Amino acid sequence: MKTQNRPTPKELQDNSDIFSKRGFQTIDKAVKQSIVLVRNAKNGIRNVLPTKWPRLNRNLLGGLQSGKMYVIAGRPGVGKSAFSNQLIFDVLDVNKNKDVIVLYWSFEMPGYQQIMRTVSDKVQKDMAELLSVDNTLSDIALSRYIEGAEVYSKYPIFFQNVPRNMEYVKKVNVDVFNEHPETMIVNLYDHSRLISGEGDSELQRLNVVSKTCMWLQSKMGVINILLSQLNRNIEKEHRAKNQYQPLLTDLFGGDSIGQDAHVVIILNRPYDLYGIKDEYCGEAAQGLLACHVEKNRDGMLGMIPYQADLKTFTFSEREKT
């Protein structure tokens, strides 16, 4: 008895609309898409925004990728806003030849304060010095600040300082996308628990945040950077034995935010927050901002050590030892 040749997925789909009607694609199409991506990458063609931090770029397979959500989490005071602030300004510096628009949903602090933090690093003056708390700022230092601040006037960043709900966020993104279809949109939300909403519990609102981000990523290739809080689990007494190293379960609203995110980064300052003086993950604890990549759908996990100066809101990757 002659054995019939097995039909290919494409032949099955061509002979039946049961698959296409329900939104399925053939494996042949997926194979071709993967080949295009690999070939384009070989030729230097990728829809990715590199950062100024080589080790982070390595973990993120080149930088921030279109259509993905990045969660940056930590306990209050760890430096989430300062870290993400430097990240977004550095990304714009590195990618000047690309069309990018940043919608900065700065609910925790107004835009001018974000600028002061950024320029504080450039002129190496802390906030007390800039605001003449102890001594009047010199004319020379003021001129340096003005020169440093005015550079950012041309950056494609738009601050929204009033807390909004995700329906408003979605509408703005759609409008911007329709006006600038060739431009990559980056949303930076500072932070998730300050996004407004009515009638639902906080966890339900976080679920709406996460699902709306996924819609924007899928439909328009938007990059979402979401700052998030940790719950208090990390501060329980037994965690001290593990040097308070964070886990995904420490995310506030982790069931929705953590599952939907492509990358989850949890920041920790072991010396400043918990008085840890011993080595932390093989790094000197003093001055350390530990950047724990706890979830990464495509790239690597692990801790990236940064040297932190919170007086001037400056972060730099430590050299590999």
Tallying the residues shown for the chain, one arrives at 321
pLDDT tens string 124-156 = 888 899 999 999 999 999 999 999 899 999 999
Strand runs (DSSP E) across 167-229, as ranges? 184-190, 223-229
C-alpha distances in Å from residue 225, one per residue of 80, 104, 141, 210, 257: 11, 10, 33, 11, 12
pLDDT tens string 179-202 = 999 999 999 998 776 677 655 676
282 Rama sector, left if φ>0, alpha if ψ -120 to 50, beta otherwise: left
What is the model's pLDDT at position 182? 92
What is the model's pLDDT at position 53? 95
Instruction: Give the span between the Cα atoms of 105 and 160, in whole angstroms.
Output: 5
Identify any residues that bridge with 267 across adjacent strands, giving them in sequence order: 291
Looking only at the bridges linking them, the beta strands covering 48-49 and 64-65 are antiparallel
What is the model's pLDDT at position 10? 64
Residues ≥6 apart with Cβ < 8 Å to 123: 141, 144, 145, 148
Walk along the chain (321 residues) and give the pLDDT tens digit of each residue. Answer: 455 677 776 666 665 677 777 777 778 888 888 888 888 878 777 788 999 999 999 999 999 999 999 999 998 889 999 999 999 999 999 999 999 999 999 877 788 888 988 888 888 888 899 999 999 999 999 999 999 899 999 999 999 888 888 899 999 999 999 999 999 999 999 877 667 765 567 677 778 888 899 999 999 999 999 998 888 888 888 888 788 999 888 887 656 777 889 999 999 999 999 999 999 999 999 999 999 999 999 889 999 999 998 888 889 999 876
Q: For residue 69, what is the enclosing H or E element? A: strand 69-74
First to last CA, the chain: 68
Radius of gyration of the chain from its Cα atoms, rounded to whole angstroms: 23
What is the model's pLDDT at position 118? 86
Instruction: Give the span between the Cα atoms of 108 and 22, in whole angstroms.
Output: 43
The ranges assigned to domains in the chain are 1-45, 47-317
C-alpha distances in Å from residue 122, one per residue of 54, 118, 173: 20, 7, 31
C-alpha distances in Å from residue 90, one per residue of 24, 53, 102: 40, 9, 12
The pTM of this model reads: 0.86
Helix or strand or coil: residue 88? helix
What is the model's pLDDT at position 296? 94
Looking at residue 242, the DSSP 8-state letter turns out to be G
What is the model's pLDDT at position 321? 63
Instruction: Give the span between the Cα atoms of 292 and 197, in whole angstroms.
Output: 30
**Superfamily (CATH H level) for 47-317:** P-loop containing nucleotide triphosphate hydrolases (3.40.50.300)
Instruction: Give the span between the Cα atoms of 82 and 202, in whole angstroms.
Output: 25
